[in-house]
Chains A and B, each alone.
Chain A
């Protein structure tokens, strides 16, 4: 089954352009204290690569492809889960101070 969405060169460029502006806008006005959590948070977000790795693994036809696909899913899952836990732990610490402020 071919994907229903066919993203051609120019559509891809539009998506990339708009996504790049989005990323720029999100980080642009952030206080310095949130830089580390945000780096960690964006590190988590690119853990979505695990989805692509799963596609590659499920479509693997040779042992070599299976091995590389397995490796990819393993690493991608680590990226996503580790990124989440670390970011959550960092942001956890902002809780009490926020209550004092509000």
Chain B
């Protein structure tokens, strides 16, 4: 009967409904690829999630010090692998390898031909793949030290980013179709239609088969490693790590490992602290050396390891956008004793102290962003930092605001008597969705809107703001 009544719907109306459903796009925000930030942000994100997530994310920052977000627009897995592939080339900092990689990927035209794919069309997209390689190699050759910025900017240009992703999609498709023995067992139906329906379409998210194909076609021949950490509700104390490719030493040279974080439906990028070997306690005299590094802003994260964890435990103080790192950097380099109270700050939430004393300790937290902008600090930044980063420095007010907003969440901090009345009315974030930073109720969301709970709405009314990738 239902089918019959659907039958009599006017075509116009049907088409209208079809169009609405076809055009529906969930709200997506954030940069296509974000800045590298402390992975304590992930722990904070899950602070109110269910215990399995809490346990697993609490263990995460010890092993993986940093992470990088990818926008949940359906391309995140493809984008994460493509970005980290280029980044691994930069980390290896072997200019000649850019040329060999370009030649190797160029030869994949044979693979496209063998798979019966439209090689000419695909190689149009390859031009952007090679263009970025040449640009990065040139930047390395010139010793400009901003190759990381070039990479990040390119991947945040949607047209270039999509072009590169399209090439890698077809690389995966061609690899699968030309290696039937490796893939036929994992795929329903024939490989050609599987790839046409699940790999090649622009809207296709990456799946396990495609990851395996890119691991074999793109990553393995470079000698890089690839491992994916699965953060889900399966039993265990830590998220499971699947090594897809082990690094293979090439002529005795160290090879970087690409690490991805998979949460059901979404990929981000992970790093270990040792992925970025940098001086432990940089002093201004070393400044010229930093500028020459392939990753000019790496040292900013590890500058003062004794402080880093505490800093990172503070919601709102880790970076949420391009270039926001500098305020906290200046903090690390600060020669004055102003921030010292922070170090005595207990990181564990269990340590409940009287509200009055907690508030007294709290003041420096509020004040610290302002302290960072004391003229003396600015002076020291200008000595050390590459000029490009200076221009991206965030106004202090933003940092202050974020720090203040973050106080609303029960994090590692005890409640302050200075919290406003209405903050107590905020709902506990009980569902996973609410803990996503794509949710406007999440403090990391650029359009942050505190969500006021009311009985009529119930819970989950914001659940539609889900990551779709």
Question: Do these two chains really belong together in a complex?
Answer: no
B: which residues have CB within 8 A of A?
A: none
